[in-house]
Structure 1
Amino acid sequence: MHDKYVYTGKPTNLKQTLTHPVVIGGGPVGLVLALSLQQSGVPVTVLEAQQPGAMYGDGRALALSYGTRQVLEQLGVWHQLESTVTAIETIHVSQQKGFGRALLKAGEHQLPALGYVVSYGALMQALDARITETKSGIEVCYQVPVQQLQVDAIAAEVTFQTATAASSEILVTPLAVIADGGRSLEAIPGLIRETKHYGHDALVGLVQSELPHRNMAYERFTPYGPMALLPNGEQFSLVWTGEQAYIDQIAALDDDAFLQALHQAFGDRVGKFLQIGKRGRFPLKLSKLEQTFPAHCVVIGNAAQTMHPVAGQGFNVGIRDAMALAKNIASTTAAEWGAAHRLTEYHQSRARDTSRGLLFTDFLVNVFSNDLIGVGLLRGAGLGALSLLPVARRFLVNKMSYGS
């Protein structure tokens, strides 16, 4: 039906029945799922709305956990990516206007790094390169935005429009996997999403500091919201969160005033801030999709749950979604792909990790993003305990690395 990598379309209506899963979304989570299925001998078709390579220039920083690195190694992707990542060997946690700090060190936990920072574009290039290396089993179709998804007791029908076809086309599949960050969900009736809007925005950008980062990441809790500096090449990736009105003020500053404000909020740990690149911002929310499909459709990654960026959990939870679903599919016969009892098993396998990730990030935001009387003392005591108790540090590192 398709070229291996580019779907060219046909000028007539087409409805084709497949016997393998269809993944909606060719981003990192969808491609990790596809590569894992391919390794297990399960063929898969991926539908991506954008052109090939459209995201290669995306400089957004992703924080990869050590567990995600292990996944990428298993899939043969890490060697393509390794030269572009920056290792996080130490995490420094502190609070503004209060005592207490904690250091998490990779060596203390027998890890080469606590995590890694890479651009979204570099990760996409590495995943695409790995897919190109595969001889069979993965079919990536570009420029095919999904228009509609219908799910019934027998199968899922995915309707899409190609760039060259005169009419829509349909794929019938035993299992449709939505992994596009939620962009296609508006086409699906009956989905329910529980959403908590924090009323906060995140301001992001690359900053150059006077002192080298020494592979140390910083998590700084302020009365306005958490801020993070992640080592990224020779610079830091900044994530500065706060109430929307506060971020409005910060975003309106010219570069010199912005760097001064950043230094005032962060302190002297890396010296003066010398330069800020292009700044971006996005609203922060916590949301969870109610999995309403009894069979033949499943939602993973950011399309299924969205977390506050504090602690860098969201993307890595999505990768664990992909790997758990691939294991679920590969461990059964083709006749049962998408069956209700198989998807129930998948959801049960992911419930603990997902719910704890949502609770963990929400807890950090609620406790570390306010200036109520007495809360600062509790924060300081918590950071002091984390500094003194190896068991507490091990728990936190395991949570960040593996979701356990």
Structure 2
Amino acid sequence: MASSENIVIVGGGPVGMVLSLLLAKHHVPTTLLEVRKQGASNQDTRALALSYGTRRIFEKLGIWQSLSANATAINTIHVSQKGSLGRSVLQASDYEQEALGYVLSYGALCTVLNAELQRFSDIQLIDEAQAEAINYDAIRATISYRRHGEVFQLNSSLAVLADGGRSLEEAAGLKRETKEYGHDALITKVSAELPHYNIAYERFTSDGPMALLPNGERDFSLVWTGKKASITPLLDLSDAEFLAQFHTQFGDRVGRFLSVEKRVTFPLRLSQLQEAATPHLVVIGNAAQTMHPVAGQGFNVGLRDAELLAQQIVHTTTPLGSEEMLAAYRASRKTDTQHGLLFTDFLVNIFSNDILGFAKLRSAGLGLFDIAKPVKRYLVRKMSFGK
């Protein structure tokens, strides 16, 4: 069976849904293909770190008020290195922002986005649709997908791949440059003896960085990264053993850790698609670039992809999906994306280096950074809004 649609977005996660909603505000019709059943992600408890700039995108969509009830503000970021006195503190009040960022569960975000999709007749969501191939030529893109055992095709002036980099890049003839860190990330949620006071902690250890993000009234979301050989055994520890080991690495800033939820690990890598002329096909979000979670940049960069692509689609004076249009979009995103990739890679390399003398240099660097107000202001703006 074949049909014809205007813009097809492959991937109905937050980045794909935000793009569809941004376009619907301008009456641009889209079709969303989502492999899962609609609403299946609404119970996902994984934590997302949202930048202040991402809040602005949600305000533009008119959904921030609905999201804010379940979001925990980050008013302060405390950066430190284990075994040294060097530390730096960033505070939202110093930069005329309500918050430096927010923590929100993936499910809470998807619940609001899914409900918002229903308000727009210009959006067609096809759930339980497994995209199997994307082909493109000088005229159109053709997307083949399977749903309930039947194969369908959509022809489109523009196909947007926003599936998180799961499977279709090779089918579309795209090539990816990947750097494997040899590190894993463990994610979970912990409760602590002391209140978080809306402080997020970035703690660098010799094995790798860990982030503790305020999430709820007294809880924290934990992202603990390190060499695979040191992270994997943490899954086999009892809750008490895990909390004791984590306390040893993190320190006493929030007192004792009282409980821990289910622990999950995944490998860490830095990757980016090689730039290529792909008329009528564009790739955004984690499908286009994957970053180390050390600075919480990846998801926010993906939403800025969606925002800039929507602007390009609405305001382009060249044919939809043409090489000229997509080249202009890629140029608009290049600086932000490259800076995000380089910044996170720099942090991992500089703070996971055990060369003799490096620890003292890092400690001194954190101390200097704490008093370098112009540098801090630039970094906060970069983390909040991109370029």
Q: Deviations over 1:94-147 (max 9, x none)?
A: 00012210110000001000000001000000111212233x211111111101
Equivalent residue for 1:106? 92
Equivalent residue for 1:17? 4
Q: How does 1:3-402 map to 2 (within 5 A)?
A: 14-18=1-5, 20-134=6-120, 136-163=121-148, 167-185=150-168, 188-233=171-216, 234-332=218-316, 336-402=319-385
Post-superposition, which runs of at least 4 consecutive aligned residues in structure 1 deviate over 6 A?
none
Q: Deviations over 1:299-354 (max 9, x none)?
A: 00000000000010000000000001000000025x71101000000000100000
Q: What is the RMSD of the two structures over their aligned residues, measured on CA atoms?
A: 1.2
State the alpha-carbon separation in 1 of the partners of residues 244 and 59 from structure 2. 41
SS of residue paired to 2:147? coil
Distance apart, 1:189 and its partner CA: 4.5
- Alpha-carbon contact 1:149-1:187 (below 8 Å) kept: no
- Alpha-carbon contact 2:211-2:222 (below 8 Å) kept: yes
SS of residue paired to 2:125? strand
- Alpha-carbon contact 1:291-1:299 (below 8 Å) kept: no
State the alpha-carbon separation in 2 of the partners of residues 367 and 242 from structure 1. 14
State the alpha-carbon separation in 2 of the partners of residues 158 and 189 from structure 1. 10
- Alpha-carbon contact 2:133-2:172 (below 8 Å) kept: no
Gaps of 5+ in 1: 1-13
Give the share of equivalent positions with the same residue, in percent. Answer: 53
Gaps of 5+ in 2: none
- The TM-score, its normalising length taken from structure 1, stands at 0.93
Q: What code does the residue aligned with 1:141 have? A: I
Q: What code does the residue aligned with 2:22 have? A: S
State the alpha-carbon separation in 1 of the partners of residues 242 and 177 from structure 2. 35
Q: Deviations over 1:38-62 (max 9, x none)?
A: 1122111111111011111111100
Distance apart, 1:154 and its partner CA: 1.0
State the alpha-carbon separation in 2 of the partners of residues 34 and 222 from structure 1. 41
Distance apart, 1:186 and its partner CA: 5.1
Equivalent residue for 1:7? none
SS of residue paired to 2:253? coil
- Alpha-carbon contact 1:207-1:275 (below 8 Å) kept: yes
Distance apart, 1:373 and its partner CA: 1.1
State the alpha-carbon separation in 1 of the partners of residues 34 and 234 from structure 2. 36
- Alpha-carbon contact 1:76-1:130 (below 8 Å) kept: no
State the alpha-carbon separation in 2 of the partners of residues 25 and 77 from structure 1. 20
State the alpha-carbon separation in 2 of the partners of residues 220 and 141 from structure 1. 42
Distance apart, 1:382 and its partner CA: 1.5
Distance apart, 1:187 and its partner CA: 5.6
* Aligned length in residues: 386
Distance apart, 1:222 and its partner CA: 0.3
SS of residue paired to 1:288? strand
- Structure 1 stretch displaced more, 178-187 or 231-240: 178-187
State the alpha-carbon separation in 1 of the partners of residues 273 and 60 from structure 2. 29
